[in-house]
Structure 1
């Protein structure tokens, strides 16, 4: 007998499903309980956000705004919970105003996190309409459903503004947390619209697990889920940004602010792999008599000189170019899509500007320094990045021997008879400065 024929099939017991349905049918979720739960969840998320902001005092990233938004949301829902036990001006007008205000502060928190401008004028106009819609209901001029419709649409607009900001920022930088946050906020906007449309049909004081009341069940249960989900998504975005900033810092030299040697070659190889990464120039620079600066003024003066030169290089290069600290007091520039004349202009400008610098030392004194540079342009696809750097480095060596404080062009190399089959990916090692040795500050 085959194994397939010998297998016994167990039919599902219909009594299990019937028992679950009977259990659910006996449950009743009243509105005050759900409203209080959302308020409590908002309070918990507020405390969590404020605690995280306290742990990151150097960078707020919108955490305090998010904590304030959740605290405001908690206040609004706690006032809603007191409906029937407190004046309607508090439990309806003020409560709904606080809920709208919380969504506005959420938009501001997202803007601060994404380093974008908060659309205050749009938010003020839209939310003023939402708040004013509560007055006719409070005075008995309109049914409550009309106010629910206006308030829900106002919330939908606020959620949509946040979702749009996050989505725009996500297109600039891949962000899984941003995708999650935008999805949650977009769902909140759609749910608010549906809640507003349903509110036109009347209000219900009790929410039961009944097919006829599923829209109210969805609005309150999803409200609790959205409170937690949007907060967790926001905190995930904060963590993501913090990770990106740490990675960016690791790629930068702490003294000069330029790329580290490893990061420079990684970025350069990435540029060469691009379709347009064929033509470029290289400028190699070195501070003249840097060892004497360290010996005469101390290593703190050397550090200050390196830091000032790093700022000078950043000011005289395009954002698309790559500038890195090659080693010690030596720096390297990769000028994208650059001609030999352009490389010469950049090198001469940096040499001339360096000679005019006055370095203010920690002890109050000043010093001046000069710069030597060598520059080269890629001669063709047969020449690797390392070969161009070596030619520029040799030109820098020639500038040193020619008297320093000058920029010299690299000599061209003869074209090879055949293209090499492989390239060495290793970066050329740095060269020590003039006789006597060189010290990095």
Structure 2
């Protein structure tokens, strides 16, 4: 007996295959097992165009690339939908025919069959990124290029936090606030899922149904309890997150969103995948190159004599540091936590003890007093995060990069440091 089922996903595999999500397929599975034939109607959510696909069943997959691509989208909604969206398998079908279903009243004009190629813009941005000599400039050029060349005007980069198994925002563009230091737990929402699964996640329309609307804030990784809220659009309709991985190690996540539906298509994902891969390689290379340079300098030159600063006569700066999680407050205002918090405490204590203002990266790497986990891989990005967070706050403490591998601490007054050990 023929039957009809609604599907949550009809996933494009290649020019001759699609994958259907198998979640409730009792009767459908029986019919497919009997004759292997199916007809699927798909609707273009942008234009309203409909197409009929004549399919022939080939196989079911419960693991592998296609399964994980579909499963990760459902996993984002899983916590909100009490388990009903759990994927059992993806069924791979060969497409025998694809024909349009004429619409009596088309919603909009259909898109041209061949959209403009984005690879030229990818090449331009990759060339600009290749000219960057340090990680901070690289991140800024990449984010700005996404807006100027591609029109992706709301983007951010997050990097792994080795202490809390999450991600921390280090660069952003297009938002009312930068949100440097905002955190996303691993596996939470589209950003955390992309990091945990190490695969791209692209959502083209967040407006379908009330349950999707309710999940928007979770998908963006926003939590009211976080000390630094994540930058986010109020009503995003399209989102994409791409992890960038180098030599098997997660380097970060590139995230972009839009108030338009279907802002990110297959071609956008392909272009962003190339950019994310370039970011991963470039960030790893620049960090390794910086460390090699610092090591050679350390062996060829003596450490410069510490200059004692004139202590400012301005107001005193109250600094409170909690050892439990590395949280640091300045004048009762939360600043940062984790590795960046410990770094700033280290700088302030040295300043209070000896008046030291200049700090070299190679000295920081070798200072055992810090006792920081996975320090070698995180130093460069943590210093960028700390400097940007201080700039964003525009408070009495600033950390400036005076030249390659050297930072300078400036204060509006003497610090009063309280370390809380509870």
TM-score, with normalisation over the residues of structure 2? 0.21
* Structure ranking higher in helix proportion: 1
TM-score by structure 1 length? 0.20
Indicate the structure with greater strand content. 2
Structure number, greater radius of gyration: 1
